[in-house]
Amino acid sequence: MSMALARERSLRSPTTVLGLLGIGIAAGGLVLSGPVWLGLIGIVLGGLYLSGAAVLAVVLGQIALITVDAPSLIPLVLVEGGLFLALLSVTIEIPDSRVAGSLVALVVPLLGGLSWLSLGPLNLDPLRVGSALLVGIAIVGYLLHRYLLIELDIVTEDVAADRDFL
């Protein structure tokens, strides 16, 4: 019973409401700019966010944005703004929220701008754009992983002892 009560409280927290609002805005932007079946992606985004995988929700949202053929500026701003709110709501809860918030504030608009430029004015192949976004997200994720290892003093000067974390 206490587990259900704790879950109910976490769903009503301001950060969760902010994140779900962002996911709703992103889903609305996807449906506005593409086929109606992208609304199902919005449901999956919400499920990923609620399960604690907000970063995966943002990755899926970026990929879904690429499936929309040459989105206009308004749906792009809606999707990217919603994904920005979803990630920002997660960074508010962590101890050093300034660093994480700054990372979110830099990465999400950068990836959104690159996807809009490549699909709109530059008219590149969506498969290439999607793979470039995945590689970019993987690089940013790895750099954040390395930063956290150094910040938490998990990595030492002994390289042989640190092989598990490389």
DSSP string covering 38-104? HHHHHHHHHHHHHTT-HHHHHHHHHHHHHHSSS--HHHHHHHHHHHHHHHHHHHHHSSSHHHHHHHH
Confidence of residue 163 (pLDDT cuts 50, 70, 90): low
What pLDDT is stored for residue 25 in this prediction? 92
Q: What percent of the chain lies above the pLDDT cut of 90?
A: 4
Collapsing DSSP to helix, strand or coil, 9 comes out as helix
Residue 24 has pLDDT above 70, yes or no: yes
Cα–Cα separations (whole angstroms), residue 158 to 27, 120, 162, 163: 47, 49, 7, 9
Q: How far is CA 163 from the centre of its chain?
A: 29
Cα–Cα separations (whole angstroms), residue 49 to 42, 54, 100, 144: 10, 5, 17, 20
Question: Exposed, middle or buried: residue 29 (CB in 10 Å: 0-12, 13-18, 19+)?
Answer: buried
Q: pLDDT tens digits for 37-76?
A: 888 888 998 888 888 778 788 888 888 887 776 567 788 8
Confidence of residue 4 (pLDDT cuts 50, 70, 90): very low
Of residues 31 and 97, which shows the higher confidence score? 31
Residue 107 has pLDDT above 70, yes or no: yes
What is the average pLDDT across 69-84? 79
Of residues 80 and 113, which shows the higher confidence score? 80
User: Is there a contact between 68 and 75 (Cβ–Cβ < 8 Å)?
Assistant: yes
**CA max distance for the chain:** 55
Residue 156 has pLDDT above 70, yes or no: no
Residue 8 has pLDDT above 60, yes or no: no
**What end-to-end distance do the CA atoms of the chain give, in Å?**
41
